[in-house]
Structure formats: C-alpha cells, structure tokens
Amino acid sequence: MHFLKMRGDILVTPGEVLGKSVELIAGRGAYVSAHDKTVYASLTGFISTTPALPESADQRPTVEVTGHKAHGPVPEPGAIVIARVTKVMAKMASADIMCVGPESVREKFSGTIRQQDVRATEIDKVDMHSSFRPGDIVKALVISLGDARSYYLSTAKNELGVVSAESVAGATMVPISWTEMQCPLTGQIEQRKVAKVGA
C-alpha cells in the first residue's frame, strides 16, 4: 500500500486497498470486491473512518474516501458514465470515460466493456464488432474498478449502450431498433448495441 501523507490525512487513489470487509464497512468512495472480500478506494481522496454506534448490531467501523474537489468527478461502481469507444476487440471494447453523470471528468479514466457485459440476454452470442465501433459514444454503468486503473463498464440494461455514432459516410446515425442504427445520408444500416431512448 502506497498511502501518501498529506496535511496529516492519508491520501489514496482508486484501486488502493483500505482493508478487509470482515473488519470494515465500505462507505462513500469505497467498495467491496466480491471475489476477495477486500475494501478498495474508488476515488482519489482522504480516508476517514467512523466507529460503529454502541447500539449497532454491526460493530465494524465505516471507512470513507472523501474526494478533493480539484479532481472533478470520479467514476464509482454504480455510476452512469458517458464514454467514447477507442478500440474494439473480439472479447472486449476499450473506452475513454468523458462524463460521470452530468459532469465532465478532468482526469483520464479508461473503461472496458467485456463481452459478457454488453447485454443481458444471449451473452454467448454477443459480437463486439456489431455492438460497438471506435468513435461511438456510449452510456454505461460502472460495475467495478478492473485491472490497471481501467473501470469495468456494462451496457446490459435497455437504457444503456450506444447513444451517438457516426456512419461510414460521416453522418450522425439515427437509432431504428435496439440493435440497428441508420445513416440518414446513405440509408445504410449498421449494427450496434443501441441505448433505448426515453428509458
């Protein structure tokens, strides 16, 4: 653990270990990884620990990470983000996160959409290349902090997926179904995992 001391507080960055879930409750700015029962920081900020109330059945203290405002918004598990797809591979797509909720990010955050997180049904039949293309703007849910500071993103709900895409002809395409978008110039239809409008 590389905790930085600042102004008498401990500064942590996303993905740093805060402790084990048997000893701590994850509060704001922290989350528990189900696979190793470890509490991690989900944003850059300072650690604060609140003891449990004496009458509480659960006597574990709650650990929180309070972000400092200069950093702007940070993706957290459960947040809805807007991201631009940068690369599409057979099993996953990479994206740069641009907004967390309505706020633009100030730092560079990378996201990964894995094949199993594209949609909720027929997961084994998902074709990444017919779901996303580089340059697509997607609305996605942050599942967790993945590997190497890349967040795992999901588009498995109807209202998540591609919200804006450019056709081969360079026009902004119009969604015509949950799986197709059409170029208004050429009429050509392209496959996408489309976000349901108005959901």
CATH number, position 116: 2.40.50.140
The answer to whether residues 58 and 91 belong to one domain is no
Mean pLDDT score across all residues of the chain: 87
Q: Is the pLDDT of residue 5 over 50?
A: no
The answer to whether residues 10 and 60 belong to one domain is yes
pTM (2 d.p.): 0.67
Q: Is the pLDDT of residue 2 over 60?
A: no
Q: Considering only 15-24, 91-100, 176-185, which range has the smallest mean pLDDT?
A: 15-24
pLDDT classification of 87: cutoffs 50, 70, 90: very high
Q: Residue 123: what are its φ and ψ, rounded to 5°? A: -60, -40
The answer to whether residues 174 and 135 belong to one domain is yes
| β pairing state of 150-154 and 103-114 | parallel
**Are the beta carbons of 16 and 40 closer than 8 angstroms?**
yes
Counting the structural domains of the chain, the total is: 2
Residue 195: the pLDDT is: 95
Residue 155 lies in a domain: yes
User: What's the domain range around 23?
Assistant: 4-71
Span 71-97, mean pLDDT? 91
What percent of the chain has a predicted confidence (pLDDT) above 90? 52
Residue 36: the pLDDT is: 86
The answer to whether residues 87 and 65 belong to one domain is no
Residue 153's nearest CA partner among 75, 72, 65, 40 is 75
Residue 134 lies in a domain: yes
Q: Is the pLDDT of residue 197 over 80?
A: no
The answer to whether residues 99 and 140 belong to one domain is yes
The answer to whether residues 128 and 168 belong to one domain is yes
Residue 149: the pLDDT is: 66
The answer to whether residues 142 and 85 belong to one domain is yes
